[in-house]
């Protein structure tokens, strides 16, 4: 089943497959559901898997106001998606998608049955250097020039699936709306409302934190902080960069499949 959902960020395309309890896969900033292709077949054996494309990515139309996008708007957009799907969900969120998933669990706990946070934004403080990097990356011309390089630099283990990720990013930077939205999100990352280190103490649903040991974008410190902050959360580490579910899907599924299955 395919649907489009109106959200504060713009219209979001959602694809679902499989049967069982709802599991929503939430990609990184400006990315699409296709990033999760290495793990979807296994998860769809036991769950109704819903995958979303952020505005301007995948099958989603461009946002009407891409320069106004902020990380804080991701969780309200995700809320509209879960509402449209008609039942509380287990959320598997990557990077800024992990931030959105955790924020939704804080703000609207009745919509979230469980969390898998993968190299999630919001648990590592932004120092002067990180703020400067986000400001520069937030310039659309810079995002257009470096987004493909960044995708490759954050990926430590390479395979056919990572090559497809790189190809999708290379194609996306030719689209002005994708560039504008992605740059705007990066500009917003250092804002105080993106820091989850205090707020995440309110999360009460079962949570598994997954992190690449070698992540150069959101360092592994964030994984330890998230696991320490969220009550009852457990941490699993992978010998990967920023995308363990793409770089080593077999190892990732060995951890995540049993966790989400127990939430049925």
Query: What digits encode the pLDDT tens for the residues 96-153?
Result: 999 999 999 999 999 999 999 999 999 999 999 999 999 999 999 999 999 999 999 9
Nearest CA to 24 out of 10, 5, 9, 8 is that of: 5
- The Cα–Cα gap between 150 and 133 comes to 12
What is the reported pLDDT for 264? 73
What is the Rg, in whole angstroms, of the alpha carbon atoms belonging to the chain? 16
Residue among 207, 28, 240 at smallest CA distance from 117: 207
Low-confidence ranges of the chain (pLDDT < 70): 1
Report pLDDT for 170.
Answer: 95
* Chain centre distance of CA 26: 5
Which residues, other chains included, contact 254 with Cβ-Cβ below 8 Å and sequence gap of 6+?
Answer: none
What is the reported pLDDT for 259? 97
- Domain spans, the chain: 2-261
Question: How many residues appear in the chain?
Answer: 264
Report the C-alpha gap between 29 and 93 in whole angstroms: 11
pLDDT at 62: 85
Query: What is the distance between the alpha carbons of residues 249 and 89, in angstroms, rounded to a whole number?
Result: 22
Distance in angstroms (rounded) separating the CA atoms of residues 219 and 222: 6
User: Which H or E run contains 114?
Assistant: strand 112-118
**How far apart are the two ends of the chain, measured CA to CA in Å?**
21
Q: For tokens 């194609």, name the residue.
A: 171
What is the residue-wise DSSP string for 139-161?
A: SHHHHHHHHHHHHHHT--S--HH
How far, in Å, CA of 215 to CA of 45, rounded? Answer: 29
- Mention the CATH class of domain 2-261: alpha beta
| Closest to 161 measured CA to CA, from 253, 29, 39 | 39
Confidence at residue 44, expressed as pLDDT on a 0 to 100 scale: 96
Cβ atoms 213, 238 nearer than 8 A: yes
pLDDT given for residue 56 in this prediction: 85
Distance CA 113, CA 91 (A): 8
Question: Which of 117, 134, 116 minimizes the C-alpha distance to 125?
Answer: 134
């Amino acid at each position: 089943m395919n649907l489009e959902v109106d959200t504060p960020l713009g219209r979001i395309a959602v694809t679902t497959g499989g049967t069982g309890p709802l599991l929503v896969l939430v990609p990184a900033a400006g990315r699409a559901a296709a990033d999760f292709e290495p793990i979807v077949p296994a998860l769809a054996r036991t769950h109704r898997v819903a995958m979303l494309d952020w505005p301007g990515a995948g099958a989603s139309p461009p946002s009407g106001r891409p320069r106004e996008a902020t990380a804080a708007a991701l969780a309200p957009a995700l809320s509209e998606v879960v509402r449209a799907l008609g039942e509380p969900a287990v959320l598997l969120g990557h990077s800024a998608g992990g931030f959105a998933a955790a924020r939704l669990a804080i703000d609207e706990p009745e919509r979230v049955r469980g969390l898998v946070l993968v190299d999630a934004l919001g648990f590592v403080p932004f120092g002067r250097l990180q703020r400067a990097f986000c400001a520069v990356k937030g310039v659309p011309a810079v995002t257009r020039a470096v987004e493909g390089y960044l995708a490759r630099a954050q990926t430590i283990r390479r395979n056919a699936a990572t090559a497809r990720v790189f190809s999708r990013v290379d194609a996306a930077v030719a689209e002005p709306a994708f560039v504008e939205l992605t740059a705007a999100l990066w500009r917003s990352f250092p804002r105080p409302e993106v820091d989850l280190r205090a707020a995440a103490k309110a999360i009460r649903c079962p949570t598994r934190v997954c992190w690449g040991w070698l992540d150069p974008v959101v360092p592994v410190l964030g994984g330890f902080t998230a696991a320490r902050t969220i009550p009852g959360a457990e941490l699993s580490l992978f010998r990967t960069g920023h995308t363990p579910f793409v770089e080593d899907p077999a190892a990732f599924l060995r951890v995540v499949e049993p966790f989400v299955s127990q939430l049925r």
